[in-house]
Structure 1
Amino acid sequence: MDQYERPGETVRLSPERLDTLLRALAAEPRRLTYIYLDEHESAAIEPLADAVVEWSRARSRTTDPPDRAHMPTALHHRHLPALDEAGIVSYDADEQTAALASLSPATTEVLSKILDLDAVGPSRED
């Protein structure tokens, strides 16, 4: 159990931790970054930017796909620091490398559920 989990019979996150995770993954580039790092464990910013742009375009959820030229800057200044602050990744800004942080089972489960919901796509509504 990590500092964010609440004691009990089932492993649950504190409301504050859940809010932090939801805020951190609110932006699609952050969700795609988490997916990439979950598969590769670590990455330099350039190949990560390539993957985020390619996957985002393949999903074609917006009429304004991300610009490859600006993605490394967006990752460096916005997305990776937000994921780092949330404890999801470890980002070395000097080296411009990111690695998946050591996550509790409860955090991993919540992140998985968030990504499962995202995979449903915009056409399915409650």
Structure 2
Amino acid sequence: MLSHRREHDVLVLTVHEDPGISGRAGLAGAIMDFVRAFQPAPVLVVIGDAAATPATASAVLRAHRRCGDLDVLFSAVSHDASVRRLLEDNADSGGRGLVVHSRVDAAIASAYGAAA
């Protein structure tokens, strides 16, 4: 369901499948486990096409809210416009904002540049 890699000092997490309503908390927890392990690296969550659902967006938003106290740059990528809108419209405005992109390469460059 979730894979990770480091690219240009950015932790890139890819969600490969929809966690469903009952799997949202588990996915958010798994994202946070990686965030804590690689802290203070910026985090980019890539939402794969098969995972582009409201449940995935909800899990990403939960993880983003939990990152508020960690001072970790957190961003997300989805090719799906409706998922990007869900993320943008529901992101917690306290602390660091959630940056939402449509392209992975641009998101990695942005996160790397912001962290440098």
- Fold similarity call, TM over 0.5: no
TM-score by length of 2: 0.30
Decide which structure has the larger Cα Rg and report it: 1
